[in-house]
Chain A
Amino acid sequence: MVAVINYHGGNALSVLHALRKLQIPAYLCSKPEQLGEAKIMILPGVGSAKATLESLQELGFHDILKHKISIEQIPFIGICIGYQILFEHSQEDSISCWGLLKGKVEAFDASQLRVPQIGWNRVHFLKPEHPYLRGIGDSPYFYFVNSYYANPLDSSKVFGNYHYGRKFSAIIVDKNITAMQFHVEKSGPLGLRLLKNICQAYGAT
């Protein structure tokens, strides 16, 4: 089963609908006790890093999620804010994040760009033969909504990039962690296909 973490401000329901459409067994997980036997955990996200971390603290998810990801090595899919909080620090509200990935989250330069970035941007995948990319093609469009971007220190973990003024990391793959800046659940049929491929690679049936 795939546990979709349901916290205040997240869009857990959209992710759940996407998994249901893909016929991947999934449930909304609103309490840490419900994480139970989850084979895959998905942390969706909208809003700010601070609000997300506070809500996860309040609901009791914060420490147990970190433990399950880093110690138990349970497969974890982070989306948007669920991607950003994996890094060490976010410039948004200047807050410490989980530090499971090396690097910081910083603000787009609003003097040069329209901020937030909102819309469909091309993701240039760096490992075209990877099983995640079955049926997806070279540099498809995915839907982005972000004012901040992650700057990963370990470039070997970067699985794809996008351009917004300059090149940024769009998706990171590091063993049991797959995390992406774009909203895979709102990126049309190709987004659904990528979500399905990731879940299947992590053993979802």
Chain B
Amino acid sequence: MNGLSKRLIACFDVVGSKVTKAEKFQNNIHIGDAASMAKNLYAQGIDEIIFYDIKASAEKRKLDVAVVESVGKEVFVPFTVGGGIRSVADMYSVLKAGSEKISIDSMAVRNPELIRAGAKAFGRQCIVLSIQVIKRGKSPKLASGYEIAIDGARIFTGKDAVDWAKQGADLGAGEIVVNSIDRDGTCSGYDLEIIEAIAKAVNVPVIASGGAGSLEHVSLLFTKTEASAAIISSMLYSTRLSRNFSVHEIKEYLVGKNIPMRACHEAGSSS
């Protein structure tokens, strides 16, 4: 018996203090102010928020701590920050500013010991390993058929996606976010194949990212895979979609499909 709900997570790609949305990790369009969008989604009943400072790693720039602080003051659901984190000291500065969890991606591929060091310093629940996967087809070198990329899908590493996810969990990652490069911003549905392969291979919660464009995409994720959480971004705010969805609307649909969700009225009934 297990009372855990599935989670809906809003993930923002942040440049400076602004939210942008990419398609296949390119052609970012500006969407709005990061802190006010986070506050608005919190009020709507989102379960969790992630900020990725997407330029930080590629351009070796550190993320903007002031934006993290401003969200931390108003948003009382879990808040993860990633981008440009190279060391335990960087992790500490982000946690101190008001986030609970740290997401590491390209830097962890370059230096896997960063996962272990972060888990040792702050506990594994604090370390979210985010991985960028692209479908290549199965081969002797890529048993899962998916390859790991880094630096915003600019560099391909030759690493097998399932192998890397397992290694990351073994090193101490508390959650794994699987970002599909092929599906990113396409609104064509999650890549259920790789998400399920990773969810079966690791014992930590797996978060699916990339491709959600309809209510059915999210319910398929939770009925066809063991994913613990869904990242939705285009559905909430992309101007590329003909219509956007409210958090309430998505959760109501999922509850109707017998998927356990924290109800939105629980998010709005406090006085």
Q: Which of A85-135 contact B (CB under 8 A)?
A: 110, 113-122, 135
Which applies to chain A's interface (DSSP): helix, strand, loop or mixed?
A: mixed
Q: Which residues of A contact B5 (CB under 8 A)?
A: 119-122, 141
CB proximity of A44 to chain B, nearest CB, Å: 11
Binds B, one of A150-158, A171-179, A180-188: A180-188
Q: Which residues of A contact B122 (CB under 8 A)?
A: 9, 46-47
* A53–B122 alpha-carbon span in the complex (Å): 13
* A166–B100 alpha-carbon span in the complex (Å): 26
- A122 and B125 in contact, given A116-B204, A189-B269 (Cβ under 8 angstroms): no
B1 touches which one: A18, A166, A187 (CB < 8 A)?
A: A166
Q: Which residues of A contact B1 (CB under 8 A)?
A: 163, 165-167
CB proximity of B92 to chain A, nearest CB, Å: 8
Q: Are B76 and A189 closer than 8 Å at their CB atoms?
A: yes
Q: Are A143 and B204 closer than 8 Å at their CB atoms?
A: no
B76 touches which one: A110, A163, A191 (CB < 8 A)?
A: A191
Q: Which residues of A contact B72 (CB under 8 A)?
A: 13-14, 17
Q: Which residues of A contact B124 (CB under 8 A)?
A: 116, 147
Give the bracket for the number of chain B residues in contact with chain A: 35 or more
Does B58 touch A at the CB level, under 8 Å? Answer: no
Contact flags A53-89 to B (C-beta < 8 A → 1, else 0): 0000000000000000000000000000000000000
CB proximity of A39 to chain B, nearest CB, Å: 23
Q: Which of B221-235 contact A (CB under 8 A)?
A: 228-229
Chain B residue at smallest Cβ distance from A12: B96
Does A30 touch B at the CB level, under 8 Å? Answer: no
Give the bracket for the number of chain A residues in contact with chain B: 35 or more
Does B78 touch A at the CB level, under 8 Å? Answer: yes
Contact flags A180-205 to B (C-beta < 8 A → 1, else 0): 00010111111111000000000000
* A117–B229 alpha-carbon span in the complex (Å): 13
A185 touches which one: B76, B175, B203, B205 (CB < 8 A)?
A: B76
B229 touches which one: A18, A119, A140, A185 (CB < 8 A)?
A: A119
* A46–B98 alpha-carbon span in the complex (Å): 13
CB proximity of A121 to chain B, nearest CB, Å: 5
Q: Which residues of A contact B229 (CB under 8 A)?
A: 119
A120 touches which one: B4, B76, B96 (CB < 8 A)?
A: B4
Q: Are A193 and B270 closer than 8 Å at their CB atoms?
A: yes
- A46 and B269 in contact, given A13-B72, A186-B76 (Cβ under 8 angstroms): no
Contact flags B181-215 to A (C-beta < 8 A → 1, else 0): 00000000000000000000001110000000000
* A137–B2 alpha-carbon span in the complex (Å): 20
* A191–B74 alpha-carbon span in the complex (Å): 14
Q: Which residues of B contact A141 (CB under 8 A)?
A: 5, 262, 266
Q: Are B4 and A143 closer than 8 Å at their CB atoms?
A: no
Does A162 touch B at the CB level, under 8 Å? Answer: yes
Where the two chains meet, the residues of A that have a C-beta atom closer than 8 Å to any C-beta of B are 9, 11, 13-14, 17-18, 20-21, 46-48, 51, 110, 113-122, 135, 137, 140-141, 143-147, 162-167, 183, 185-193
Contacts A9-B123, A11-B100, A116-B204 supplied; 8 other A-B pairs, CB < 8 Å: A47-B126, A116-B174, A140-B266, A141-B5, A145-B174, A162-B3, A163-B3, A186-B76
Nearest 5 interchain pairs by C-beta = A189-B270, A47-B123, A141-B262, A122-B3, A163-B3
23 A-B pairs with CB atoms under 8 Å apart are A9-B123, A14-B98, A14-B100, A20-B73, A21-B76, A46-B100, A47-B123, A51-B123, A118-B125, A119-B4, A119-B47, A121-B5, A135-B270, A141-B262, A145-B174, A163-B3, A164-B4, A186-B77, A187-B77, A189-B269, A190-B269, A192-B270, A193-B270
